[in-house]
Amino acid sequence: MTTVLTPASPLTAADRCDRCGAQAYLRVVLASGGELLFCAHHGRKFEPELKKISVEIQDETGRLGTTPATASDDER
Confidence of residue 5 (pLDDT cuts 50, 70, 90): very low
| 14-26 pLDDT tens trace | 999 999 999 999 9
| 27-76 pLDDT tens trace | 999 999 999 999 999 999 999 999 999 999 999 998 888 766 676 666 65
* Cβ burial, residue 53 (10 Å; 0-12/13-18/19+): middle
- The side-by-side arrangement of strands in the sheet containing 35-38 is 35-38, 26-30, 54-59
Q: Are the beta carbons of 4 and 56 closer than 8 angstroms?
A: yes
CB atoms within 10 A of CB 25: 22
| pLDDT the model gives residue 70 | 74
Confidence of residue 13 (pLDDT cuts 50, 70, 90): very high
